[in-house]
Chain A
Amino acid sequence: MVLGNYKTAVSARAADADILKCSQDGGIVTQLFTYALEEGIIDGAIVAAPGDEPWKPEPIVATTKAELLAARGTKYTISPNMMLIKEATRSYGLDKVGIVGTPCQMQALRKAQLYPMAMRKVPDKIALAIGIFCMENFPYMGLETIVEDHCQTKMESAVKMDIGKGKFSVYTERGALSQIPLAATHKYEQPGCHVCLDYVANLADVSTGSVGSPDGWSTVFVRTKKGEDVWSKAIAAGYFETKDIASVKPGLDLVTKLATGKIDKNKKTLEARATLGVNKGLRNPYI
């Protein structure tokens, strides 16, 4: 269960050159939502769009390809995408909602569907939930500290941020690259991430992330019937290039290793929380 239930796993990238130009890796989320929007599989998608401050995302309900393109790329700070889940069906009146989110947001989404106490009209309107691999997230000020103090780069001059190969990287508009060891960023992580037991968004319809695939490509897990339906149609329509996951390096072994690492580490955090005080502890949300 380290990688969750899935029907297929592939390495893929978007066929659309415009999408790939500014995408984080293989442009899977933008391409799949674009396809779903064009085909009427979704009426709109909740995505993390640029906000008022540089690299501070703001969730929006995107209903056009232009809005999806503007929201491309990973922002390594919190975007409360679930905030709009009811708004999308009510104020925006969408019948078929797409949403992208981290593993914890997929957990929130599925809890909202199964226990829709305050989620009237939500459960049956989730048409496509795309999950993204996530080790942890940073509060905005934490990200600002990493980028400005550690990487010596102004937030507004960064054009891309990336985590991979043990490093946090910031690319600037003038072509400079600033890198620091990922270990230096750990203390800025948000504490709520340290009890999360999911790396690969087990509860999404389709989940994706760079780990396991070559540069410019993404690893994709197709998990549910809904996910399989949309994914297979998108493949048939030529929206993605794919490679057999078994043929690419480093492949699923690395995904499994990272996922296991996250789960083991965070299980230890949960255990430590239980006895933090003297005969007292902190809450475990899973029991």
Chain B
Amino acid sequence: MVNKITVGHVHMSGCTGCLVSLADNYEGLFKILDDYADLVYCLTLADVRHIPEMDVALVEGSVCLQDECSVREIKETREKAKVVVALGGCAAYGNVTRFCRGGQWNQPQHESFVPIGDLIDVDVYLPSCPPGAEAIRNVCVMAYLLLQGTDEQKALAAAYLTPLMNLAKRGTEACGCDLMYDIINQGLCMGCGTCAASCPVRAITMEYGRPNIDREMCIKCGACYAQCPRSEFSFDVINQFEGIMEAIDGAMGKGGE
């Protein structure tokens, strides 16, 4: 493939779970690296010390305000990347790092962790803890089509990424409560159960057809809100689900048997 895009994985205060999720595409990751993207920066997988220019930066983790290096790196990422993706709950919404209070060995002063969107403009959010391997794959394929595809592919990729870009515009806070505020309070919930399925910590149960959120367990990863069909639903994209899934399978070298 000629015009590969360049992708970097920028590691802020996260647990590496998002990177593991990227790797969980197994041979799919090789396909992405062979045909669509060069990994130009990645603390664990590429021997590069300084954040280079790149098309897409996948940022994992929140920013520790007491860590100069983190603050500098997130700003540098914004300056050097065309598209910044908040990969996972910590980068998008703070996730478990929202509950940090500092005072711990060996950097007791490290106490304030903010989602990257509090310091820089973010283009695309990919919430959940961690984001599904397939979701990361889809965003990589769509980012490739957006930057290198035909006009038709560019239009599809833009339409596909729109809901994730809208999430980035919506704000840097999300948790189970958003189901209450934006779905149930707004008279939109129809009790499908998707939120309960999507919660990585099983904080959501369904009671009489409505989600019941255990707020002590909620880690603020934003998965339930993002996955809810009534938080955002694009007829333009989702009605073409069969074709899009075939196209992604095709791009990943699957299907066609």
Residues of A near any B CB (own CB < 8 A): 59, 77-87, 101-102, 104-105, 107-108, 110-124, 137, 139-141, 190-197, 202-203, 224-225, 273, 282-283, 285-286
Contact = CB atoms under 8 A, between A and B. Distances in A.
A104 B192 contact: yes
A273 B230 CA distance: 14
Contact of B188 (A78, A116, A120, A195): A195
A118 B191 contact: no
A105 B189 CA distance: 11
Interface in B205-232: 206, 208-209, 221, 223-224, 226-232
A111 B233 contact: yes
A115 B135 contact: yes
Contacts of A115: 135, 138, 163-164, 226-227
Contacts of B135: 115-117, 119
A192 B138 contact: no
B110 to A, nearest CB: 28
B191 A117 contact: no
B239 A117 contact: no
Contacts of B226: 115, 117-118
Given A118-B224, A120-B133, A80 B192 contact: yes
A119 B197 contact: yes
B144 to A, nearest CB: 17
A137 B127 contact: no
Given A80-B206, A83-B196, A285-B231, A114 B237 contact: yes
Nearest to A226: B242
B188 A192 contact: yes
A137 to B, nearest CB: 7
* B contact residues, range: 35 or more
Nearest to B24: A120
A118 B223 contact: yes
A242 B206 CA distance: 38
Max count, chain A CB within 10 A of own CB: residue among B190, B194, B196: B190
Nearest to B237: A114
B194 A283 contact: no
B77 interface: no
Nearest to B235: A286
Nearest to B126: A117
A120 to B, nearest CB: 4
B132 A117 contact: yes
Interface in B82-123: none
A164 B128 CA distance: 42
B239 A203 contact: yes
B22 interface: no
B242 A137 contact: no
Given A115-B138, A118-B127, A85 B230 contact: no
Contacts of A111: 194, 227, 229, 233, 238
B62 interface: no
Nearest to A138: B209
Contacts of A77: 209
Max count, chain B CB within 10 A of own CB: residue among A101, A118, A273: A118
A140 B160 CA distance: 36
12 contacts: A83-B196, A86-B197, A102-B192, A117-B132, A117-B198, A118-B199, A118-B223, A139-B209, A203-B238, A273-B187, A285-B229, A286-B234
A272 to B, nearest CB: 11
B38 to A, nearest CB: 25
Given A111-B233, A115-B163, A196 B190 contact: yes
A283 B182 contact: yes
Contacts of B239: 202-203
Max count, chain A CB within 10 A of own CB: residue among B209, B227, B231: B209
A111 B138 CA distance: 13
A82 B132 contact: no
B134 interface: yes
A120 B192 contact: no
B199 to A, nearest CB: 7
A257 to B, nearest CB: 22
A285 B163 CA distance: 11
A114 B235 contact: no
A185 B192 CA distance: 21
Contacts of A197: 235
B131 interface: yes
